[in-house]
Amino acid sequence: MPLLTPHAFRQATGLASAKADEWYASIMAACLEFDINTRVRITAFLAQVAHESGTFLYTSEIWGPTPAQMRYKQRADLGNTEPEALRHAYVAGVIDVGKFYRGHGLIQITGFYNHKKAALALGVPADSDPAILASKSLAARSAAWWWKAHGCNELADAGDFVALTRRINGGVNGLADRQVRYARAQAAITVQGVA
């Protein structure tokens, strides 16, 4: 039995029927796998990933490059200066390691270290092929894995949506939009119920 009906998922996310149908199975499977299995967790997760992905439109970070993105390749904290990261980018024929390890998935897994952690957790080669996390299934799984691994279920349980936003974003960028999405998801799921 699914956590959420397809209709409730459409209403909660604001997606058109066809787009919702494309994402429904991947999102529900990811939620089940990573214990996003209560009304408060699901509503918070849907609101946050919908904001982060531009309503399930982007599963790879849009590349400008912006000034911040131009610094990715020099970011040791992301692991982008590691010999292994440079080797993977070189083998893939990519000169800019920062662009190679730009954000992927519904919660933009960014940098070599984070792609490597995702690879180990999900059993996929995201460290050597980071764009693999852009597929619907892995975009959803990587977001749900990151969510659970970073204590987001507990923040959702506590009802601290601002702290949850800070955990995901590092600040409160887009908070108003996230809150609108959260309210929509709560209303839709309250009406439809969680199975």
> 104: which DSSP letter?
B
In which band, very low, low, confident or very high, does the pLDDT at 195 lie, cut at 50, 70 and 90?
Answer: very low
Mean pLDDT taken over the chain: 94
Q: Given this model, what pLDDT does residue 1 score?
A: 40
Q: Given this model, what pLDDT does residue 3 score?
A: 75
What's the whole-model pTM score? 0.93
CB atoms within 10 A of CB 144: 28
Q: Given this model, what pLDDT does residue 2 score?
A: 57
- Which residue type occupies 58? Y
Taking phi first (over 0 means left), then psi (-120 to 50 degrees means alpha), and beta for anything else, what does residue 63 get? beta
pLDDT at 53 exceeding the cut of 60:
yes
3-class SS at 62?
Answer: coil
- Tell me what the mean pLDDT of segment 148-169 comes to: 97
Question: What does the pLDDT look like over 181-191, one tens digit per residue?
Answer: 999 999 998 75
In which band, very low, low, confident or very high, does the pLDDT at 46 lie, cut at 50, 70 and 90?
Answer: very high
In which band, very low, low, confident or very high, does the pLDDT at 192 lie, cut at 50, 70 and 90?
Answer: low
pLDDT at 49 exceeding the cut of 70:
yes
Residues whose CB is less than 8 angstroms from the CB of residue 189 and which lie 6 or more positions away in sequence, other chains included: 4, 8, 12, 39, 42, 43
CB atoms within 10 A of CB 48: 27
Q: Which residue has 């975009």 as its token pair?
A: 139
Burial of 111: CB neighbours in 10 Å, binned 0-12, 13-18, 19+: buried
Q: Given this model, what pLDDT does residue 59 score?
A: 98
Compute the distance between CA of residue 158 and CA of residue 161 in angstroms, rounded to an integer. Answer: 9
Question: What does the pLDDT look like over 84-140, one tens digit per residue?
Answer: 999 999 999 999 999 999 999 999 999 999 999 999 999 999 999 999 999 999 999
Compute the distance between CA of residue 111 and CA of residue 81 in angstroms, rounded to an integer. Answer: 10
- Tell me what the mean pLDDT of segment 61-66 comes to: 95
| Residue % of the chain over a pLDDT of 70 | 96
- Tell me what the mean pLDDT of segment 45-57 comes to: 97
Residues whose CB is less than 8 angstroms from the CB of residue 80 and which lie 6 or more positions away in sequence, other chains included: 72, 73, 74, 97, 98, 101, 111, 112
> 61: which DSSP letter?
P
Q: Which of 85, 144, 86, 82 is nearest to 118 (CA)?
A: 144
